[in-house]
Amino acid sequence: MELSRRDFLKAGGAGIGGIAIWQALGSKKASASPKGFTLTKQIGEKTTICPFDGSGCGFIVASEEQRGKLKVVNIEGDPEHPINNGAGCAKGAALRQLSADNPRRLSKVKYRAPGSTDWVEKDWDWAIEKIAEKIKATRDANWIATDEDKPANRTEAIACLGGAALDNEECYLLSKMARSLGIVYLEHQARI
Amino acid sequence: MTNQWTDIANSDRILVIAGNPAENHPAAYGHITKAIEKGAKLIVVDPRFTRSAAKAHVYCPIRSGTDVAFIGGVIKYVLDDMDVNPGNYNMTYVTEYTNASLLINPNFKGPADLDGMFSGWDSTSKRYINNATHKYNDANSTWRYQMDESGIPKKDKTLKDPNCAFQILKKQFARYTPEMVSKTCGSPQEKFLEVARTFSECGAVGKSGTLMYAMGATQHTNGAQIIRSYAILQLLLANIGVCGGGIQAMRGESNVQGSTDMGLLSHIMTGYNPTPRHTEDTLQKYITRITPKSSDPLSLNWWKNSDKYVVSMLKSWWGDAATKDNDFRYNYLPKVHYKPEVDGDENYTHIALFEAMEKGKVKGLMCWGQNPAVGGPNANQERRALANLDWLVCSDLWETETSIFWKRPELSSAEIQAINTEVFLLPAAGSFEKEGSVTNSARWMQWRYKCADSPGEAIPDLDMMNELMLKIRELYAADASAPNRDAILNLTWNYGTHVDPNQVAKEVNGYDLPTGKLVNGFANLKNDGTTSCGNWVYCASYVEPADEPTAPIPGNRASRRNPDDGPYNVGLFSKWAWCWPMNRRIVYNRASVDLKGEPWDKEHPVIKWDSVNAKWLGDVADGGAKPMAEGGTYPFIMRSEGFGCLFAPVNGPRELSLVDGPLPEHYEPWESPLDANPLSGTMISPVIKIWRPQEQGTPDRYPIVATTYRVVEHWQAGQMTRNLPWLVEQMPEMFVELSEELATLKGIANGDKIVIENARGNVKAVAMVTKRFKPFHLNGTVVHQIGMTWHWGYAGLSTGDSANVLTPSVGDPNTTIPEYKAFLVNIRKA
């Protein structure tokens, strides 16, 4: 079955597994073009939700594998989406520039030592270990076990900010993790 | 939002105040256009003639910070018109569904009696003592209902009793005449009246009007009262719960709704359950405070289920270690400090956090995609405070102003070297480089897929949190002397090396523990430890595949893409994605029907009672009880008295009033251009939170009102747009917009670089001289207002000064949201 992008999106809604479509599209779309000659590009499309404002507009991301990496080749408004009906604002139209192709994106852990005037690059293992040690040391040294003889189990020495740009699952894990550590200075963009 | 973006197309009247959707929510704005094409009228009230105003049938200017005066004026117009033309309003709704008929303590006194104050003021503790945890059952508290012998609020359905909420409302707003509105807000009287007249036309049975707002409302020292004024107006016009009605908070970030739902705030945990206090040393004490009581059999009082939600959250977090015998490990949770002398918690909110940081009390900070060095108020203070941290961890897609605060351009290399903060900048995956869900303004939880790879070593925040927590657990496992380490070691943390967001989403939804099946709805949650649920509000979002077999990811309702426009074809799209709570697309929808369960608006029903089968049809009905005429419960199920509140009473420890009063009253912003409040002798709200009184500017030095706003090309603190070449090309520079009159006065030409300064600092920006701002005439005084974009900072592809250098460290007394939208400045040519 030759599926157009529009058919795929409709089919997804009607119950054909949206996840499985990825592979199907990749292989089948390449087999023929409307004019009957073979295309070699393997373009796959999936849906996403805009990361900017709270409208929740739908977009379609087209990407293909280039040198072992899945690269964005196009992003445009999702015409089936009930909120934006395929439209996009200036930010939505520029979504593609958020991708890994933007040379300003961070690709390595950066570290600035006390008093230093510049970054140095570090690897993940080093950073995770260092940060975990900092959190533990600060938490334990500034632990408020009791407050007026009642259990308080908090630290006021660590603060945690952010969440409005994260996914729900990340927000949930952060909420759970921060509270297990006793963090009470827990805030995000909703306050400001 | 109480309703839906797609539902706005059903509105007959659309009032946009304190927001600018044509600029900031432009794709969703299409639903306003649809409504207009069907005959709706758009009304825009804003200090500036915005892009939304350009599309409006009626535009009325308003001075920043005077929204309560304006809406209070509209409320008075409606109340007066109800006397003359009751047939133009849905008086059954007002009498039966709001607390209009409920009687308030006869000793209640309001601003009309007390020159801007409410009864119960305690000058020692500087607060209203009526609004106290221990006062709710004190019959002498004047902010309470009068109770009958069964403990049920007394009513007068004729609405004539001088102590009923309806009459108190009339008395409160009698002073808010068109003349008073005009001299307070600077709105021309005839324009104000056109707004009031046009919007109130949607009060008729079967008509609807929506009220849309954004940060222009909340970011004031009376922000919560501004929202209350909207709620009162919409209840009087019978607009809550109906198609095309409601109050729409237009959210500015893609998941600021979800992050709030998940409890990433100091005062609430997941699902809006309050943070426990140190005085609540047992689960029972905590549950008692947060569980409202009602003696009225006709009130469903939904929050009576709080214990089920809290216990289920504790079971999600501490699993088998949480048992009935050990209070489900409630003791593991951090308890905030409670101050009985002010009956409030220690303030751990944003401004307080940065003040504590400047004092060296906060030593470590984790920043997940937030950029307070641009987005926080009094930005210079926040940047200074960051230098007092021992360590800072930032997870982001880019270098942000926050992560490079230590090398900001104004610092010399000696100053840079004097900063001892260790900084870790972690490369994060972007929104389409990972899988998971976000929740929009309209409570739609929508699933996203991984569509592309991240650059280099960037990884999803979910994996960063996991790696970090695995390492922290390892450290605590090795240190038996560490305090409260069981909270960390017993925490359910079973996500492997790479977290599957589906697993987390299922944990959020919750399980029936004996069967191991996903729970299909929070009515099934229990308080005995046999269910788990990370966030009860999201219960039913991710169910067993058999319960939602046709979703693209079976069981995952957020992934649904069925384009059916929903019950009754009114555009609720009930099978597209998932909407909390319980996929209810319009909340308070029991108020959309008459006492028999018939829709007020026959053309746009939300729900209908099917008397043959004794069930509701249409949207998921709020609470599910029968229509009131058949003995069903009151429609506002999240309130213990069951009604929409015109007057916000003190009803119980979870249902306190607002700390600044049970009714909105106009107060001037902390920095006002006037020397007196036109409405009363009380200049500013007596309870606002002020951190730096010495930084208050006065109109003799800083006579110009300033506000901030966004432009379509940029996003919030700018990190996600000032790094994109296309957007930088379209909107390359920070600017300040001012009227032709002010420009002439100051000798400023369009395009000049100017300095904007006040008691907190100064910024430079390009002057944009426009007709969109006009001077305000306030009782003979001319007041100028300017507006600045606030997206810029010193990091990124496009740099510039930050408007928030000028905003003050003061906050709303209820929320501590800073007063970003009304402050004083002066300007001069650079």
Among B513, B508, B523, CA closest to B584: B523
pLDDT at residue B91, as a whole number: 98
CB A134 within 8 A of CB B390: yes
Residue of A43, A46, A53 for testing the chain B interface, max B β-carbons within 10 Å? A53
> What CATH number is attached to the domain comprising B754?
2.40.40.20
Q: What is the CATH number of domain A5-98?
A: 2.20.25.90
End residue of a domain, out of B231, B249, B267:
B249
Instruction: Determine the Cα–Cα distance for residues B467 and B392; give it in Å rounded to an integer.
Output: 17
Helix (H, G, I), strand (E, B) or coil at A134: helix
Encoding tokens for residue B764? 């430079």
What are the DSSP E strand ranges found in B353-451? 364-368, 391-396, 422-427, 436-439, 444-448
Instruction: Determine the Cα–Cα distance for residues B145 and B151; give it in Å rounded to an integer.
Output: 10
Residue partners of B47: CB distance under 8 A and separation at least 6 = B61, B62, B63, B64, B705, B707, B773, B785, B787
What distance lies between CA B661 and its chain's CA centroid?
Answer: 18
Answer left, alpha or beta for residue B521, where phi above 0 means left and psi between -120 and 50 means alpha: left
Using CB atoms, pick whichever of B6, B256, B259 lies closest to residue A82.
B6
Model ipTM? Answer: 0.98
**Helix ranges restricted to H, B98-214:** 111-114, 165-173, 178-185, 189-200
Using CB atoms, pick whichever of B391, B468, B559 lies closest to residue A128.
B468
- The conformation of residue A89, written as its DSSP 8-state character, comes to -
Confirm or reject contact between B50 and chain A (CB < 8 A): no
Quick check: bond before B581 cis, omega within 30?
yes
Residue of B382, B444, B484, B802 for testing the chain A interface, max A β-carbons within 10 Å? B484
B768 CB neighbour count, 10 Å cutoff:
18
Between B189-200 and B67-84, two packed helices, what is the crossing angle to 10 degrees?
A: 60
CB B348 within 8 A of CB B266: yes
Among A87, A110, A46, CA closest to B393: A110
With DSSP H G I counted as helix, E B as strand and the rest as coil, what are the percentages for chain A, rounded to 5?
Answer: 35, 30, 40
Contact flag A18-B561 (C-beta cutoff 8 Å): yes
pLDDT at residue A19, as a whole number: 39
End residue of a domain, out of B221, B249, B277:
B249
Using CB atoms, pick whichever of B317, B440, B550 lies closest to residue A55.
B440
Encoding tokens for residue B574? 């009930």
Closest residue on chain B to A100 (Cα): B455
Contact flag B335-A151 (C-beta cutoff 8 Å): yes
pLDDT at residue B540, as a whole number: 98
End-to-end CA distance of chain B, in Å?
A: 43
Cβ-Cβ contacts under 8 Å, B357 against chain A: 159
Q: Determine the residue type at B279.
A: T
Residue of B215, B248, B253, B315 for testing the chain A interface, max A β-carbons within 10 Å? B253
pLDDT category at A32 given cuts 50, 70, 90 is very low
Among A132, A133, A110, A129, CA closest to A120: A110
Encoding tokens for residue B367? 């920043």
Contact flag B552-A19 (C-beta cutoff 8 Å): yes
pLDDT at residue B340, as a whole number: 87
Among A137, A189, A127, A174, CA closest to A158: A137
> Which helix (H) or strand (E) covers residue B712, if one does?
none
Strands B391-396 and B422-427: what pairing? parallel
Q: How many domains does chain B have?
A: 2
Closest residue on chain A to B533 (Cα): A172
pLDDT at residue A71, as a whole number: 96
CB A79 within 8 A of CB A6: yes
Contact flag B449-A190 (C-beta cutoff 8 Å): no
Using CB atoms, pick whichever of A10, A83, A118 lies closest to residue B6.
A83
CA separation, residue B790 to residues A37, B377, B711, B765, B805 (Å): 52, 11, 9, 11, 10
Closest residue on chain A to B368 (Cα): A162
Q: CA of B762 to nearest chain A CA: how many angstroms apart? A: 21
Q: Which residues of chain B have pLDDT under 70?
A: 134, 136
Sign of CA dihedral B778, B783, B784, B790: negative
> Which helix (H) or strand (E) covers residue B593, if one does?
none
CB B92 within 8 A of CB B595: yes
CB A84 within 8 A of CB A58: yes
pLDDT at residue B659, as a whole number: 94
Residue A20 in this model has a pLDDT that exceeds 60: no
- Give the number of beta-carbon pairs within 8 Å between A and B: 528
Burial class (CB in 10 A: 0-12, 13-18, 19+), B259: buried
pLDDT at residue A40, as a whole number: 65
Instruction: Determine the Cα–Cα distance for residues B723 and A3; give it in Å rounded to an integer.
Output: 36
Contact flag A162-B368 (C-beta cutoff 8 Å): yes
Encoding tokens for residue B625? 């009880």
Q: What is the pLDDT of residues A34-47, one digit of tens each?
A: 566 666 667 889 99
pLDDT at residue B342, as a whole number: 83
CB B807 within 8 A of CB A192: no
CA separation, residue B536 to residues A45, A137, B190, B317, B448 (Å): 34, 34, 48, 13, 22
CA separation, residue B587 to residues A124, B2, B210, B360, B830 (Å): 45, 5, 14, 44, 51
Q: What is the pLDDT of residues A80-100, one digit of tens each?
A: 999 999 999 999 999 999 999
- The conformation of residue B143, written as its DSSP 8-state character, comes to T
Confirm or reject contact between A134 and chain B (CB < 8 A): yes
Encoding tokens for residue B84? 């003359």
End residue of a domain, out of B208, B223, B249:
B249
Angle at B290 between CA B100 and CA B644, to 5 degrees: 15
pLDDT at residue B138, as a whole number: 77
Confirm or reject contact between A147 and chain B (CB < 8 A): yes
Using CB atoms, pick whichever of B5, B460, B550 lies closest to residue A55.
B5
CB B164 within 8 A of CB B172: no
CB B719 within 8 A of CB B397: yes
What are the DSSP E strand ranges found in B480-538? 511-512, 517-518, 531-532
Instruction: Determine the Cα–Cα distance for residues B230 and B225; give it in Å rounded to an integer.
Output: 9
Encoding tokens for residue B723? 């790094």
Instruction: Determine the Cα–Cα distance for residues B313 and B306; give it in Å rounded to an integer.
Output: 11
- The conformation of residue B459, written as its DSSP 8-state character, comes to B
B683 CB neighbour count, 10 Å cutoff:
16
Contact flag A165-B376 (C-beta cutoff 8 Å): no
CB B655 within 8 A of CB B143: no
Q: CA of A185 to nearest chain B CA: how many angstroms apart? A: 5
Residue partners of A112: CB distance under 8 A and separation at least 6 = A118, A119, A120, B406, B421, B422, B423, B425
B87 CB neighbour count, 10 Å cutoff:
10
Confirm or reject contact between A191 and chain B (CB < 8 A): yes
Contact flag B724-A77 (C-beta cutoff 8 Å): no
Encoding tokens for residue B649? 């009473």
Q: Report the pLDDT averaged over residues A119-138.
A: 98
Residue partners of B92: CB distance under 8 A and separation at least 6 = B594, B595
Closest residue on chain A to B441 (Cα): A54
Q: CA of A25 to nearest chain B CA: how many angstroms apart? A: 13
In a domain, B33, yes or no: yes
Interface of A with B in 41-80 (CB under 8 A): 46-58, 61, 63, 69-72, 75, 77, 80
Using CB atoms, pick whichever of B259, B266, B714 lies closest to residue A163.
B259
**Boundaries of domain holding B199:** 6-107+156-249
Cβ-Cβ contacts under 8 Å, B815 against chain A: 191
Using CB atoms, pick whichever of A124, A150, A185 lies closest to residue B266.
A185
pLDDT at residue B291, as a whole number: 97
Closest residue on chain A to B541 (Cα): A168
pLDDT at residue A39, as a whole number: 64
Contact flag B377-A192 (C-beta cutoff 8 Å): yes
pLDDT category at A9 given cuts 50, 70, 90 is very low
Using CB atoms, pick whichever of B449, B467, B552 lies closest to residue A48.
B449
Among B692, B671, B695, B821, CA closest to B223: B821
Q: Where in chain A are the domains?
A: 5-98, 109-191
Using CB atoms, pick whichever of B275, B334, B427 lies closest to residue A153.
B334
Instruction: Determine the Cα–Cα distance for residues B253 and B275; give it in Å rounded to an integer.
Output: 24
In a domain, B216, yes or no: yes
SS (H, E, C) B270-296: HHHCECCECCCCCHHHHHHHHCCCCCC
Phi and psi of B380, rounded to 5°?
-65, -40
Rg (alpha carbons) of chain B, rounded to whole number: 26
